[in-house]
Structure 1
Amino acid sequence: MSRSSLVSSSMPLGPISNEKNQADSARPTKRHQGFTLVELLVVIAIIGVLVGLLLPAVQAAREAARSMQCSNNLKQLGLGLHNYASTYNGAFPNNGYSWPGGYPSDYSPLAKILPFLEQAQLQDLIDFNIYMGHPALADLPEGLHEAAGTRVPTYECPSDINADVHLLTMPSGASIPIAGTSYSMNQGSGLDGVYHPSVGEPDGLCWTNAKVKFRDILDGTSHTIVFAETLIGGGLESDTPTPNMDPQFFRAGVSEASTAVANLADSGDIADVQSYITSWNGDRNHYWLRGTVPNGPIINGRLSPNSNIPDLVRGSSKITAARSNHTGLVKVALADGSVQTVTDSIDLKVWHASWTRMGREVETISQNR
């Protein structure tokens, strides 16, 4: 076959190329479009629903972790108390001692168990020979300022939103930082009419000049509360009785802290004690160092857990409730070292029975788990 015949039989290159270009140009062009507004709104709505479903679960998980840490704090306090008692011949830490002609030397039980909570270096800052004086008449001695303003993690519930350093205005007008606590020691049931931690001998475990030992808990250590939760106050004050403040964050100053007022408070209706309320303050448990002072960590169980009635305070006399930010419950440490959860709906007779050391009650919170 000749070269010319090969050439003549071949398809022309030019026309093929032109036809291909024309075919390509005739095809529709694929356009890459973004989301339409409707699609975007649908995606946002779906994400919102997912967040709405997940957020409560995340919050619940966080609160479960905080609740567990709170229980661990109370467990540590109970263990610290046992180690203290082992060191001091079975005796519990008390609320200080009477001082000749003056206010008690009221170093709190929490100040005394520090070395048994791996806080020996903090207790080294406390000279228990220093007399602190009357809180309304004398400034806290300067040698105690550093200790008073030091936060102790074991003393603070993670759910307590006011766990922080607060300012204390002293009689001279000077202010110093002081640290508080979410836990208080059992003074008594409040049914005995003893509301001041330095007057009389209550039916609980801790007061001024107390000499309670494990052997004195005739009701049994597994039936007697030793520490209970209570919320640190919000810090604000009001000199007027109204409007009513949130009892979880504020205490009510009253014209008298008496059995008559406590009996009225048993109803759980603030209207029944409204006529006795003269002011509001937010310094509950601001002071872990001192016990007898109104803002110290001593508590009685007269009011139900998380009561709608605010803690009622007249000077250092108090009618109080265990309180927490855990929904519907509070945690307590029993004298045997165990930690129990108590619901707000606990029967008051059972609740009160758990605050006495020798009330001989048949039923306590240990039987109501």
Structure 2
Amino acid sequence: MPTVHAHHFVCRHIGQNNPTTLAAISGKRTKRSAFTLVELLVVIAIIGVLVGLLLPAVQAAREAARSMQCSNNLKQIGLSLHNYASTYREQFPNNGYSWTGGYPSDFSPLAKILPYIEQGSLQELIDFDIYMGHPALADLPEGLREAAATRVPTYECPSDVNADLHGLTMPSGAETQIAGASYAMNHGSGTNNVYHPVYESDGLCWIDAKVGFRDILDGTSNTIVFAETVIGQGIDIATATPAMDVRGYRAKVTAVDQTLADAADAGGLDAIQANITGWNGDRNHYWLRGSVPNGPVMNGRLTPNSSVPDMTYGSSKISAARSNHIGLAKVCLADGSVRNVTDSIDREVWHASWTRMGREVETVSSND
């Protein structure tokens, strides 16, 4: 009996002062409440896999939304063109007017349609009687700088990564800010050796143009009026090599002519490499002016998102519709409809869609 009492006393004493020891003595185990390192790593790995699976879907959904907004922008621009024509005797906005003894007064078509995209207050900042002069000789007049530095949401594709204000160094050396556009009006197909937006071509927009619906003999549903392009990155490169990203840069070449365009068709970048002297990043930086090299007027000489860069010499240019949408670029037809044009479109069909009276059978509309 004394032995039993002693054992009872010891167990009771230990239990009061050390429950863990008591549990061990009685054969019971405590419950764990934490992960082991291996379990934690497995959970992290599973979360990483799930994020990896979901991220492309999220990105695709966001791009689909941006693409839809881009189409809406072009749709609004197309409708504004119709409203403008209704106001001005069925004529489309042109690229400006001749100026006696000097560079044209080249207010762009985008500057003229502002009231029809609910930007009337912005157009009130533009005095169309102000002569801007030659861009290489005269600074942008003070009275136009506020308008030039105003971004217009309808003119910018949400997928255009360079849609922003960009610095413009004027002839005096002074700096000002200008805003660009992700869309440009149809100057022509670029197949007729006309590359300077001052001169009449087979499209719809140039200096002193008086083109309207009646002049589109190919039909408004078969003729491109605005095409998507991309705003340049804004930095000039003084050397010909290495070749730059064609979405952000245009190649400066020794001359823009039919020979160079044909060489690009036949041999791609390699065929024109010897003609490249450098690269500029100012594509479409300037929605206010149309005839300047960085204005929103273009030709369709190169197919959409061509691997051949746009080429410039002065204000002359060989250009392509370009976008950050995968595998396509968007265009607005003269009937106001918007089309997605794939990069693989036939070159002849593409060129036919830029002419107003080429009488071609197939266009982007017949390739939906």
TM-score, with length taken from structure 1: 0.93
Question: Where does the alignment leave 5 or more consecutive residues of structure 1 unmatched?
Answer: 1-13
Residue in structure 2 matched with residue 251 of structure 1 by the alignment: 250
Deviation sequence 1:265-298 (CA, Å, 0-9, x none):
1136200011111110000000000000000000
Deviation sequence 1:201-250 (CA, Å, 0-9, x none):
20000001100010000000000000000000001111111111111100
Distance 2:159 2:269 in 1: 26
Distance 1:137 1:52 in 2: 54
Tell me, what secondary structure is at the counterpart of 1:59? helix
Aligned 8 A contact 1:91 1:214 in 2 = yes
Tell me the CA shift for residue 74 of structure 1: 0.2
Tell me, what secondary structure is at the counterpart of 1:318? strand
TM-score, with length taken from structure 2: 0.93
- Counterparts of 1:81-100 in structure 2 under 5 Å? 81-100=81-100
AA paired with 1:253? K
AA paired with 1:241? A
Tell me, what secondary structure is at the counterpart of 2:266? coil
Distance 1:123 1:207 in 2: 21
Residue in structure 1 matched with residue 125 of structure 2 by the alignment: 125
* Number of residues of Structure 1 aligned to a counterpart in Structure 2: 354
Q: Does 1:170 align with 2:170?
A: yes
Tell me the CA shift for residue 67 of structure 1: 0.2
Distance 1:107 1:97 in 2: 8
Distance 2:90 2:338 in 1: 20
The runs of at least 4 consecutive aligned structure 1 residues that moved more than 2 Å come to 17-25
Tell me the CA shift for residue 19 of structure 1: 11
Tell me the CA shift for residue 35 of structure 1: 1.1
Distance 2:346 2:10 in 1: 95
Distance 2:160 2:69 in 1: 12
Residue in structure 1 matched with residue 185 of structure 2 by the alignment: 185
Tell me the CA shift for residue 105 of structure 1: 0.3
Residue in structure 2 matched with residue 299 of structure 1 by the alignment: 298
Residue in structure 2 matched with residue 145 of structure 1 by the alignment: 145
Tell me, what secondary structure is at the counterpart of 2:335? coil
Tell me the CA shift for residue 86 of structure 1: 0.5
AA paired with 2:310? D
AA paired with 1:134? H
Tell me, what secondary structure is at the counterpart of 1:280? strand
AA paired with 1:305? P
Identity of aligned residues (%): 70
Aligned 8 A contact 1:268 1:307 in 2 = no
Distance 1:133 1:203 in 2: 27
Residue in structure 2 matched with residue 159 of structure 1 by the alignment: 159
AA paired with 2:252? G
Distance 1:204 1:99 in 2: 22
Q: Does 1:316 align with 2:315?
A: yes
Distance 1:90 1:33 in 2: 79
- Counterparts of 1:14-53 in structure 2 under 5 Å? 26-53=26-53
Distance 1:197 1:142 in 2: 25
Tell me the CA shift for residue 31 of structure 1: 3.6
Residue in structure 2 matched with residue 237 of structure 1 by the alignment: 236
Deviation sequence 1:314-349 (CA, Å, 0-9, x none):
000000000000001000000000000000000000
Residue in structure 2 matched with residue 6 of structure 1 by the alignment: none
- Counterparts of 1:317-332 in structure 2 under 5 Å? 317-332=316-331
Distance 1:257 1:104 in 2: 21
Tell me, what secondary structure is at the counterpart of 2:43? helix
Distance 1:81 1:297 in 2: 15
AA paired with 2:66? R
Tell me, what secondary structure is at the counterpart of 2:284? coil
Distance 1:268 1:356 in 2: 25
Residue in structure 1 matched with residue 19 of structure 2 by the alignment: none
Tell me the CA shift for residue 124 of structure 1: 0.1
Tell me the CA shift for residue 29 of structure 1: 3.7
AA paired with 1:187? H
Residue in structure 2 matched with residue 220 of structure 1 by the alignment: 219
Distance 1:41 1:293 in 2: 59
Distance 2:366 2:184 in 1: 23
Residue in structure 1 matched with residue 345 of structure 2 by the alignment: 346
Residue in structure 2 matched with residue 289 of structure 1 by the alignment: 288
Deviation sequence 1:78-117 (CA, Å, 0-9, x none):
0000000000110000000111111000000000000000
Aligned 8 A contact 1:203 1:356 in 2 = yes
Q: Which has the larger radius of gyration?
A: 1
Distance 1:264 1:36 in 2: 66
Tell me the CA shift for residue 32 of structure 1: 2.2
Distance 1:136 1:254, change over 3 A: same
- Superposition CA RMSD, Å: 1.6
Tell me, what secondary structure is at the counterpart of 2:246? coil
Distance 1:98 1:65 in 2: 42
Distance 2:165 2:266 in 1: 35
Residue in structure 2 matched with residue 10 of structure 1 by the alignment: none
Residue in structure 2 matched with residue 337 of structure 1 by the alignment: 336
Distance 2:113 2:91 in 1: 12
Residue in structure 1 matched with residue 80 of structure 2 by the alignment: 80
Distance 1:39 1:305 in 2: 51
Question: Where does the alignment leave 5 or more consecutive residues of structure 2 unmatched?
Answer: 16-21
Tell me, what secondary structure is at the counterpart of 2:277? strand
Distance 2:267 2:187 in 1: 21
AA paired with 2:67? S
Residue in structure 1 matched with residue 108 of structure 2 by the alignment: 108
Distance 1:273 1:131 in 2: 37
